[in-house]
Amino acid sequence: MKTVCLHGAESTGKSMLARKLQVDRGWPWVPEYGRTYCEEHGTDLKMADLLAIAEGQDHANRAAMAGASPLLLLDTDQLVTAAWAQMLFGTVPPSLLGWPKADLYLHFEADVAWQDDGTRLFGEADRRARFAAIALDMLERTGVPYVRIGGSWAEREAQATAAIAALLEA
């Protein structure tokens, strides 16, 4: 099974595209555990919350990997959680960088309009740009393979689909 993680700042279309690819292509996806966690516990996060989110995401990812699909889309993983830790607390616990990595990361650029959904924190342009840069740095820091995804919604879908197709053909 190949895993593809949708990565990047808030409100860049990751979840929306994951749902669309599941419907249009039948590719299964694991939703973002952190969203559910924040809806239940609020967004006044401590480092312990981020570590709990990382564990919850891992549990959901592993459960989905038990399926027989050749591809699994991960709406997020611990590298995004590491970016949150850096953004919120200025530090990244080594444990967040030690989790298993996806086969490919699709880094979504913060070049679309931000939309508040009640769990998002970084809507101001400077904070959003900073978080996007930190998220990209997590990919660079860990040396994982990634493709940058940007532009209109149609361009994002085309870029993501092409990157996933190339991974499946490899």
Sequence-ordered strand ranges (E) for 53-103? 71-74
Taking only the tens place, the pLDDT of each residue in 96-145 is 999 999 999 999 998 877 666 655 556 577 888 898 999 999 999 999 99
pLDDT at position 14 is 87
pLDDT value, residue 42: 85
Q: Is the pLDDT of residue 6 over 70?
A: yes
Specify the number of domains making up the chain: 1
Q: Write the pLDDT tens digit of every residue in 143-153.
A: 999 999 999 99
The pLDDT of residue 152 is: 94
| Per-residue pLDDT at 85 exceeds 60 | yes
Of all residues in the chain, the percent with pLDDT exceeding 90 is 72
Backbone angles phi, psi at 45, to 5 degrees: -80, 145
| Dist. CA 60–CA 123, nearest whole Å | 28
CATH of the domain at 54: 3.40.50.300
Question: Vertex 128, ends 127 and 132: CA angle to 5°?
Answer: 115
Q: Going by C-beta distance under 8 Å and a sequence separation of 6 or more, which residues neighbour residue 36?
A: 56
Largest CA distance in the chain: 43
Rounded to the nearest integer, the mean pLDDT of the chain is: 90
Whether the CA torsion 18, 22, 24, 26 is positive or negative: it is: positive
* Contacts of 46 by beta carbon, 8 Å cutoff, 6+ apart: none
What pLDDT was estimated at residue 38?
A: 87
Strands across the sheet with 29-30, in order?
A: 29-30, 71-74, 2-8, 104-108, 146-149
Residue with tokens 């924040």: 38
Q: 90: which residues sit within 8 A by CB, 6+ positions away?
A: none
C-alpha angle 130-131-135 in degrees, rounded to nearest 5:
120
Strands 146-149 and 104-108: parallel
* The predicted structure's pLDDT at residue 52: 96
Which pLDDT value is given to residue 129? 87
Which domain does 63 fall in, by range? 2-169
pLDDT band of 170, cuts 50, 70, 90: confident
